[in-house]
Structure 1
Amino acid sequence: MGVDSHWELSRVIPVDGGRDQAVAQAAELARKCDGSGQEVHDPETFGRRVFRSGEADWLVEISSPYWSDYIKKSITHKSHVRISVAELEHHSEAPDAEPPAKSRLRRALGMS
């Protein structure tokens, strides 16, 4: 068991049809995604373990084998994807950043 406090929301998939449809689509994605969370056409090329951690949450461990010419054997890379169904309740865009105010020294030197 490992602990990683860093995560990011890397992909949002809008779903028409309500929560039941969203849960069904998320469960299907857990069985067919690659290590970046993208659905692949040949999910059989990966190994996977799908853990359902809640009614609408999955943790997926994806194993991807590759041949190492250096050590002359197959190596398996593992990655993890978390898939959750969530309802967007609020959204607002961040305002544009303003340029910094000129300091006295920068003004005195004629710098912007």
Structure 2
Amino acid sequence: MTASGILIAASQLGSLLGVESSGFTLVERFITLVPNLDTFNVATLLIGGGTLLFLIAMRRYGKATLIRMGLPSTLADLIAKAGPVFAVVITTLVTWHWQLADRGVDVVGQILGVTCV
């Protein structure tokens, strides 16, 4: 991983935890993140962490797993590459079903009355 990759990942920690974080360097990010850790949002962490794990699993194992399940290689590849779309649909439905916007989870907007993360 490169230094810029580490900085980009660190810049997303605040969003993943549901707390404020700012700054241009890794040190600035952590200095603004640490005092806010006591206010992190569990639902935001579960949604973000779960989505991240899902995307990593789809990228690493998705196609091979779908092929082992009997799908043709082309279809398995297409479904595995559509992992981010599935992640958006699933998190949107989870957020709507459990009304997570009312529980402090930041959402992007609404699609046909359904709140999207």
Same fold, judged at TM 0.5 (above): no
Of Structure 1 and Structure 2, the greater strand share is in: 1
**TM-score tier (shorter):** under 0.3
What is the TM-score of this pair, normalised by structure 1? Answer: 0.27
Of Structure 1 and Structure 2, the greater helix share is in: 2
